[in-house]
């Protein structure tokens, strides 16, 4: 009888001991003796700060925590220690002044699924592969119009296609999302593939739909939990959906590349893909082996450019038209400036310097809408002491761009849509140091120049031709600015009316 009582007690003790050892094994390596130097909410073993973070509003949670714990603090996403950088001065100090130390890319389980097993391309790669692909892309994308006159002509051509789509709705309510995404995606497609797609092209629209869907999935609660506890949530439906999307888009990219490869003329490259293939062929002719220039790396780089050149610019344009409908007096001012400076002719890139209010509205939309609230995660490349805090090599680092674009010490009214943030007392456009919509440092968006030209030409051309209003029976005040749940801050589904204002003379 005595053994019957002792056996359960011994078993319980053994299980508790094993549990403590397991927690110690999984969790302890993420603590270090410098932990006291890094403020942050107290984590629980294994669970970390799970119960203090709202997975449906991850960036908002971090933003609120930054107000309590300062500009450099830690959170534990499950057992994973993460350093959060908040505020303009701190984020700039890390990404610009300590660019090498904070320059590596951290790939969470979700981003690992998005980037694939190879982890090559531009966005998620590290080391020599990243350096070579970024260098090659920057040089050759410029040759095909990135930020140049050739890009301007492509954008103006695409503006006309988009205007035709808007005109067909004849002033009736419609969602701008699909047509804007198609138009914006065609700009990067023409630069990368050498030609645009028809909006009815099923292959094209499926690629865009899946790419946009992936941002939604990455922002979902189940993917946030998968990032924290991949061994538990690896079978989550959204994770399986993400992997299917990625696999299908890679197949489509390979098919598109295969067609271009079959018609390649190295003397007349049509776009970035042709240039990559021509360089690869040259290396083969010279019998030089360079692992950076394989087809898998081309697929990843092309996919990176396609997604980066579609989502954020398209999302910003959707926000700006929604904001024009919500604030008609601001739309009136933009249109008055356009009428005074440009008249009825097509707006050109060179007009930007004479349209300060329109330029301010675009920049303020990027600041206020805060499209990418958290930069794609970084990782320390070495041990670093930063602003008095010791951070170990390999530590994930999240630059909180929300805290930069809404920094109360940098912006007069950070939580209000106010184009005056970018205007001086004489109404001239002014740059603001704390405008960090494209991140900064080594990992800053390489397509910033192209994106800014697209936003300017699309926006001014659209408001020159149309006035955007809420649907009949909906007041401006009732237009909802609450973002949808996604990795990027996208507008919630909505409809607008595009009321024609007359023609544009090319």
- For 99-118, letters b (16+ CB in 10 Å) and e give eebbbbbbbbbbbebbbbee
Question: What pTM did the predictor assign?
Answer: 0.90
| pLDDT, tens only, 126-149 | 999 899 999 998 888 877 766 577
- CATH number at 267 reads 1.10.630.10
pLDDT for the residue numbered 19: 53
DSSP notation for 400-416: EHHHHHT-TTT-SSTTS
Q: Give the Cα separation of 144 and 142 in Å (integer).
A: 5
Position 44 in a domain: no
SS3 content of the chain, % helix, strand, coil (to 5): 55, 10, 35
Higher-confidence residue of 36 and 208: namely 208
Q: How confident is the model at residue 3 (pLDDT cuts 50, 70, 90)?
A: very low
Asked whether 249 and 303 are in contact (CB, 8 A), the reply is yes
Position 86 in a domain: no
pLDDT above 70 coverage of the chain, percent: 91
Instruction: Establish how many alpha carbons lie within 13 A of residue 57's alpha carbon, considering only the half-sphere containing its beta carbon.
Output: 8
* pLDDT over 80 (residue 154): yes
As a whole number, mean pLDDT of residues 72-78 equals 96
As a whole number, mean pLDDT of residues 307-321 equals 94
As a whole number, mean pLDDT of residues 80-101 equals 96
Three-class DSSP category at 288:
coil
pLDDT for the residue numbered 31: 44
Q: How confident is the model at residue 25 (pLDDT cuts 50, 70, 90)?
A: very low
Q: Give the gyration radius of the chain's Cα atoms.
A: 25
Q: How confident is the model at residue 496 (pLDDT cuts 50, 70, 90)?
A: very high
Position 83 in a domain: no
Higher-confidence residue of 482 and 26: namely 482
Higher-confidence residue of 488 and 164: namely 164
pLDDT for the residue numbered 119: 67
| Domain total of the chain | 1
CA dihedral over 280, 283, 284, 290, signed as positive or negative: negative
Average pLDDT over the chain, rounded to an integer: 89
Strands 396-400 and 80-86: parallel
Q: Cα–Cα–Cα angle for 416, 417, 420, nearest 5°?
A: 105
Q: How confident is the model at residue 211 (pLDDT cuts 50, 70, 90)?
A: very high
Domain that holds residue 245: 117-372+416-500
Q: Give the Cα separation of 462 and 454 in Å (integer).
A: 12
* pLDDT over 50 (residue 30): no
Position 26 in a domain: no
* pLDDT over 70 (residue 267): yes
Position 175 in a domain: yes
pLDDT above 90 coverage of the chain, percent: 76
Position 389 in a domain: no
**443 secondary structure, DSSP code:** G
pLDDT for the residue numbered 4: 34
Position 308 in a domain: yes
* pLDDT over 60 (residue 34): no
Position 338 in a domain: yes
Q: Give the Cα separation of 311 and 301 in Å (integer).
A: 16
């Amino acid at each position: 009888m005595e053994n019957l009582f002792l056996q359960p007690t011994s078993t319980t003790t053994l299980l508790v001991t094993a549990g403590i050892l397991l927690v110690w094994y999984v969790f302890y390596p993420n603590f270090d003796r410098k932990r006291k130097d890094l403020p942050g909410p107290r984590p629980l073993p294994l669970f970390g700060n799970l119960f203090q973070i709202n997975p449906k509003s991850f960036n908002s949670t971090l933003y609120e925590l930054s107000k309590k714990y300062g500009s450099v603090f830690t959170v534990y996403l499950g057992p994973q220690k993460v350093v959060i950088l908040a505020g303009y001065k701190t984020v700039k100090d890390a990404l610009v002044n300590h660019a090498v130390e904070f320059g590596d890319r951290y790939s969470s389980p979700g981003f690992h699924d998005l980037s694939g097993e190879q982890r090559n391309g531009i966005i998620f790669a590290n080391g020599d592969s990243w350096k070579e692909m970024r260098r090659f892309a920057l040089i050759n994308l410029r040759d095909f119009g990135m930020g140049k006159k050739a890009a301007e002509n492509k954008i103006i051509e695409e503006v006309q296609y988009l205007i035709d789509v808007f005109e067909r709705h004849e002033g009736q309510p419609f969602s701008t999302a699909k047509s804007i995404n198609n138009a914006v995606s065609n700009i990067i497609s023409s630069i990368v593939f050498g030609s645009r797609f028809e909006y009815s092209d099923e292959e094209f629209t499926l690629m865009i739909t899946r790419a946009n869907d992936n941002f939604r999935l990455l922002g979902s609660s189940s993917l946030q939990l998968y990032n924290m506890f991949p061994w538990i949530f690896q079978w989550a439906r959204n994770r399986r959906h993400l992997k299917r999307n990625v696999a299908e888009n890679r197949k489509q990219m390979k098919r598109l590349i295969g067609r271009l490869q079959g018609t390649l003329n190295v003397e007349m490259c049509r776009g970035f893909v042709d240039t990559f293939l021509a360089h690869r062929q040259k290396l083969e002719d010279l019998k030089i082996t360079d692992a950076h220039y394989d087809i898998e790396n081309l697929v990843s780089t092309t996919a990176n450019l396609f997604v980066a050149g579609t989502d954020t610019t398209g999302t910003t344009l959707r926000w700006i038209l929604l904001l024009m409908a919500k604030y008609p007096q601001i739309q009136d001012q933009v249109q008055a400036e356009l009428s005074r400076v440009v008249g009825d002719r097509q707006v050109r890139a060179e007009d930007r310097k004479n349209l300060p209010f329109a330029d301010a509205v675009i920049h303020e939309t990027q600041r206020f809408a805060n499209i990418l609230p958290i930069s794609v995660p970084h990782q320390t490349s070495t041990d670093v002491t930063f602003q008095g805090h010791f951070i170990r090599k390999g530590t994930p680092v999240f630059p909180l761009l929300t805290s930069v674009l809404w920094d109360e010490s940098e912006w007069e009214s950070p939580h209000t849509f106010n184009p005056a943030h970018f205007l001086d007392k004489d109404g001239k456009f002014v740059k603001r140091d704390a405008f960090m919509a494209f991140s900064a440092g080594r990992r800053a968006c390489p397509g910033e120049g192209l994106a800014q030209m697209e936003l300017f030409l699309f926006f001014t051309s659209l408001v020159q031709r149309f006035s955007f209003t809420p649907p009949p029976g909906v007041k401006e005040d009732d237009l909802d600015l609450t973002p949808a749940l996604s990795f990027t801050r996208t507008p919630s589904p909505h409809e607008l009316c595009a009321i024609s204002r007359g023609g544009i003379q090319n």
